[in-house]
Amino acid sequence: MSGLVVLKIGGSVITDKSKPFTYREETVKRIGTEVFRCWPTSLIIIHGGGSFGHPIAKQYEISKGYKELRQLEGFVKTMQAMRELNSLVVKSLVDAGIGAVGMPASLLFVTRNGVIETALLDTLFAALDLGVIPVTCGDVVFDREKKFTVLSGDNIAVYLARRLRAKRLVFAIDVDGVYEISRETGDKKLLEELDRRKHSTLLYQEADDVTGGLFNKVDEAFNAVNDGIEVLIVNGLVEGRVEAAVKGKPVKGTKLVK
């Protein structure tokens, strides 16, 4: 699908991560209007877990897989929280005038040791074919080894971009891109371009996310870069950046390069 763009919107953009279950409706509606202006670009949207999915998944240690009975409660509660967040995101996008269809990832993917092994993508393909936007999310999923795990929206975004041969993969996060932080002075410099070698030398802030934060996102995204997909990381909290990135126009952010 040569014209396809995959857009991952971070949980820190769509929720306030400092307060459980705090949805940023106005932000998602504003991103929705930007996405609306990208029509007729073929698009898949994936969003993160933010203050809906991560606190519960962390509390019940869902990423470790099934160890004890009490985790089942955490598994279903995390799934419930992500369904709720997915519905809220889809509603805001529809309010912005977009034909958006929610598809929680727990129904699309089965993993083995956290890696996607089965992807049931018929409904996603049908939606794309119809010209409506599939909206999936990081989620708890069934896992063939661990019984269950957490599948990050970042991994889903890279998987779909590679499998569907997208032309561009855009990550909307809550800062301007990837920064180089000086070990001596602590000064921060936004990297307009980042290659894998440099990535392995950078200091990344310790992630509070159960799925590994910015390091995991960038590390995983280099697999898409290797496949020739353009990968951009932009600030989703700043008006206009998502639109420019999806359209392939010049934009402040970090481009991953070989």
Q: Give the strand pairing for 179-181 and 254-257.
A: unpaired
- Residues 15-54: x where in contact with ligand IP8 by CB under 6 A, - otherwise, as a string: ---------------------------------xx---xx
Cβ-based neighbours of 186, under 8 Å, separated by 6 or more: none
Question: Min. distance of Cβ 87 from ligand IP8 in angstroms?
Answer: 15
Of 44, 47, 42, whose CA–CA distance to 28 is shortest? Answer: 47
Q: Which stretch binds ligand IP8 (CB under 6 A): 111-119, 133-141, 160-168, 224-232?
A: 133-141
Residue 236 is labelled as binding a ligand: no
Spell 211-231 as b/e; 16+ CB within 10 A means b: bbbbbbbbbbbbebbeeebbb
**78 lines the binding site for ligand IP8 (CB under 6 A):** yes
Return the sign of the alpha-carbon dihedral for residues 83, 151, 128, 135.
Answer: positive
Q: Which is nearer to ligand IP8, 139 or 143 (CB)?
A: 139
**11 lines the binding site for ligand IP8 (CB under 6 A):** yes
Question: Min. distance of Cβ 148 from ligand IP8 in angstroms?
Answer: 11
Q: What's the one-letter identity of residue 160?
A: L
212: left (phi over 0), alpha (psi -120 to 50) or beta: left
Which residues sit in the known binding site for substrate? 49-50, 54, 153
> Which residues of the chain form contacts with ligand IP8 (CB under 6 A)?
11, 48-49, 53-54, 57, 78, 82, 138-140, 150, 152-154, 209-211
